[in-house]
Structure 1
Amino acid sequence: MSKADQLFVTMCEDILDHGFSTEGQKVRPHWEDGTPAYTIKNFGVVNRYDLSEEFPALTLRRTAVKTAVEEMLWIWQRKSNNIRDLNAHIWDAWADENGSIGKAYGYQMGVKYRFPQGEMDQVDNVIWQLKNQPYSRRILTNIYNFRDLAEMGLEPCAYSVTFNVTGDRLNAILNQRSQDILAANNWNVVQYAVLVYMMAQVTGFRPGELVHVIADAHIYDRHVDIIRELIRRPQYPAPKFRLNPDVKDFYDFTPDDVILEDYQHGPQVKNIPVAV
């Protein structure tokens, strides 16, 4: 069975059985009808995914891998902050009338900085370091820019990635300040697993571990029954994953270069209420 499923089920059971309820507390998120969106939460959840063993897509339900990859490339490759550059409608609630989410996510990835090797943005710095000094312990990105928070449609949830090379393996740590477990957990895991695969391919490494660190891992009150049903479902073997081997430049990848085979999964969960 998929190890990603097992990790997900264990995490959800621990939140439901031992988590802290914010009901009655002063909370920022709310539902579309104006009702406060309370959660059950655990602090400091850490999940490890060995990408050399399997691709961590849930089989309990289908994760739309190509759509998730498109969003990741929108941020990391296109460095866009405009939803009109994205086919999915994930960000619509946080965009202004021009489609902008402000100085968030892709905008921060595109900002130029002066590095020792020259002026470049954070993504190009990661690629340069992995090619030229892969055993550096300073290969990371961080888009939680306090100077620009007031001009962001949404403060970054997944805000930092640290890359680390061990032998011929490229590993990464994804740091996330907050996560809606039902709506976003496997979505983010899949995105950053693919990012590790892509970075490894274009810099001469093999994919290693993805470590996902979540400061506030929460299940919303209106998601509890959905989660309980989801984690009782049958589990299947992890799908087989591969990238188009002809792509040698990170900026040439498209979602179509991601190939998933033998992806067995349960029925989709539709109409998930989203708190904003």
Structure 2
Amino acid sequence: MSYADKVFIEMCRDIIDNGTSTEGEKVRPRWEDGTPAYTVKKFGVVNRYDLRKEFPALTLRRTGIKSCTDELLWIWQKKSNNIHDLNSHIWDSWADEDGSIGKAYGYQMGVKHVYKEGMMDQVDRVLYDLKNNPYSRRIMTNIYVHQDLHEMNLYPCAYSMTFNVTKEKGSDKLTLNGILNQRSQDVLAANNWNVCQYAVLLHMLAQVCDMQVGEFVHVIADAHIYDRHISLIEELISRETHPAPKFWLNPEVKDFYQFTPDDVRLDDYVTGPQIKNIPIAV
């Protein structure tokens, strides 16, 4: 069993067995037929993954590593808020007729701010500090910008990354760790997708900053399973598990802005069947 499988199974079991239900409450999300989308939820879920030991991809079902990397780079590298710059259709429900999702996600990453070192956006600030001031406790991003929320077609779910660098005994390289803060997560649709995305990000940043990866910590304020997903989750977590895949990142890439989804690969990735046509609450 991969460690990611263990974490996922235990988290889902805890949500279903010990979580609280929103059934009958006033909720924003709706199913496609207009029915309120209720959830069973747990508050303050914290999962830790040591990326030095294995890559945290589920084997219960396949996580599309190139697709989730494409979305990550859409936000962090292209700094785009337009679905025409994205190869998947996961954002289509929140885009306007021009393809824009408003001042959300990639838009916020591309906004330049004034620092004493000059004008930089949030991604370039992270890269600058990791290379020039790695022991800073201020290396972070935040895309939950209140003044722009009214112009976002969806409020950011995964909204903040905090990076922290340590020096391990006996290692020639510094170790890059990161914490992802997420206000809300649809566990079936998005949990391992987000985990794999930000594990990839840490690997990429570590490589271009001549570091090694360390821990990835995922903090979810509201981890929920939708009412129409419970039976799917029950079947998923009962499946056979497999060893974690091996992660490959193109070692030739030394500039974060040169990475593409083709520079990422999972080898020996054995999984259960994909769950198709998952209903998504909007």
Same fold (TM over 0.5): yes
**Aligned-partner residue type, residue 60 of structure 1:** L
CA deviation profile, 1:27-59 (whole Å, cap 9, x unmatched): 000100000000000000000000000000000
User: Residue in 2 aligned with 1:12?
Assistant: 12
Question: Is 2:43 the partner of 1:37?
Answer: no
Shift of 1:268: 0.2
CA distance in 2 between counterparts of 1:115 and 1:182 reads 40
2:153 maps to 1:153: yes
Q: 1:178-193 residue pairs with structure 2 within 5 A?
A: 178-193=184-199
Give the aligned residue type for 2:213.
Answer: P
Residue type of the alignment partner of 1:51: L
Which residue in the other structure is 2:227 paired with?
A: 221
Instruction: Quote the RMSD (CA, aligned, Å).
Output: 0.4
* Residue 117 of structure 1, CA deviation: 1.2
Corresponding residue for residue 249 of structure 1: 255
Q: Any unmatched runs of 5+ in structure 2?
A: 168-173
Note if 1:273 corresponds to 2:275. Answer: no
Superimposed CA distance per residue, residues 55-76 of structure 1 (whole angstroms, 9 cap, x where no aligned partner): 0000000000100000000000
- Within 5 Å, give how 1:15-164 maps onto structure 2: 15-164=15-164
TM-score (norm 1): 1.00
Distance, in Å, in 2 between the alignment partners of 1:43 and 1:211 is 16
State the TM-score, normalized to the length of structure 2. Answer: 0.97
In the alignment, structure 1 segments of 5+ residues that lack a partner are none
Distance 1:133 1:27 in 2: 44
Q: Among residues 193, 196, 204, which one is paired with 1:198 in the alignment?
A: 204
Partner of 2:171: none
Provide the C-alpha distance between the structure 1 equivalents of 2:39 and 2:52, rounded to a whole number of angstroms.
Answer: 34
**SS of the residue aligned with 1:102?**
coil
1:137 offset after TM fit, Å? Answer: 0.1
Q: Secondary structure at the match of 2:74?
A: helix
Give the counterpart letter for 1:88 in structure 2. Answer: S
Partner of 1:11, secondary structure, is helix
Q: Percent identity of the aligned residues?
A: 72
